Amino acid sequence: MTDGRVLHAGLHVLDRQMRDRHGRLCGKVDDLELERNEETGAMYVTAVLSGPGHLLYRTGRRRIGTWLAKLTSHIERSSLEDPGRIPYDRIKSVGVTVDLAIEANELATFAAERWTRDHIVGHVPGSRHDADE
């Protein structure tokens, strides 16, 4: 074994709480993307995958999980190419929580809630102000 910090994927990374750049909770680590370096043959983690589609995929519902992840990516406006895929270089630290250098509203975790707010609840008369105004 080498000198680097040792983590076990199932025990220390998967299902860990994620926090955005302001410390706000923004979902869980649902899966990891791996890529093999063709020159060295070593395999590295290249991204954290998060969101209901990736969680479904991990729990064995692969077809509907893939479909839902694509749907989320399609409806969500984000600076990320895929809001369910957080590139490894946007991770600040891995500990009790996984801290990200990214905004919570750019991620897929609450995409369905945001879409419902913008496209359904937002059109209901009276929904544009606080209840106690």
120 binds another protein (CB under 8 A): no
- Element (H or E) spanning 114, and its range? helix 111-119
Distance separating alpha carbons of residues 12 and 21, to the nearest angstrom? 21
21 binds another protein (CB under 8 A): no
Out of 23, 35, 118, 119, the only residue in the binding site for another protein (CB under 8 A) is 35
Query: Between residue 68 and residue 107, which ones bind another protein under the rule CB under 8 A?
Result: 87-94, 101
Residue 71 Cβ vs another protein, minimum distance, rounded to whole Å:
18
Closest CA to 56 of 81, 85, 88, 31: 31
- Which CB, 57 or 109, lies closer to another protein? 57
Distance separating alpha carbons of residues 91 and 45, to the nearest angstrom? 12
